[in-house]
Amino acid sequence: MLKIGDTINLEPIYNPSGEKYKCRLVERIDNKLYIDYPINEETGKTVYLLNGTQLKAFFIENNTSVYFFDTTVLGRVKQSIPMIVISYPEDESLFRIQRRQYVRVETPVDVAIESIQNEFNPFVSITHDISAGGASLILPTKVDVEPGTVIKTLFVLPSLSEDNQYITLNSKVIRKVEGKKGERNKISTQFIDTTENEQQLLIRFCFERQLEMKKRGIQN
């Protein structure tokens, strides 16, 4: 579970500007977490959180599971390093998603596709499904992309709580799936050299989509 030194990702509950913070766990006492001062992921600057600020938090355990929880800023502590104290629910109350559960989320996402080696003209399409590791893309009529091709993919990720997020990734085409009964062809892609921030953005998007589908009674 959550250990000293682990990275915790934070977002304000009310977050119109889409701010995202990162911090590390310094100490844990009962249901209180002592964290170093968070850093704004975009600006790289220290964030000063007021007492009572409500946040969404998540952390990754052993690169296999993602745990989510809601938290509130309780105060500050000055020891060898300045720390912020935030609330923490019981371990049993955390919302857990195993990586196998978000490997694939069937949802349409707008995507612009370019060939790095100029093997075809740029085109726009939508995803059939997307995950933290890759996506299945629907090919327009008369467009063909062969397995092994490395492409540039710009995804427009809609968010439930903020403006759209844009992420550009290099992707390798793993296989092509022929459409049946009038369906269009698809290509399965694997993301290449994603950074930790990019992967966290994809994880967050898949998580939000899973929650939305669960609320609507849709099984993925």
Residues with Cβ within 8 Å of 41's Cβ and at least 6 positions away in sequence, in order, are: 20, 21, 22, 197
For β-strands 54-61 and 39-40, DSSP reports them as: unpaired
CATH of the domain spanning 103-215, picked from 2.40.10.220, 3.30.300.20, 2.60.40.420, 3.40.50.2300: 2.40.10.220
- Sequence spans of domains, the chain: 7-101, 103-215
Report helix, strand and coil shares of the chain as percent, to nearest 5: 10, 45, 40
pTM above threshold 0.75: no
What's the distance, Cα to Cα, between the start and end of the chain in Å? 27
Q: Is 215 helix (H, G, I), strand (E, B) or coil?
A: helix
Q: Is the pLDDT of residue 36 over 60?
A: yes
Q: Do the Cβ atoms of 129 and 135 come closer than 8 Å?
A: yes
pLDDT digits (tens, 9 = 90+) for 173-206: 999 998 888 889 999 999 998 887 888 788 878 8
| Span 7-101 CATH architecture | Roll (2.30)
Lowest mean pLDDT of 39-53, 131-145, 205-219, name the range: 205-219
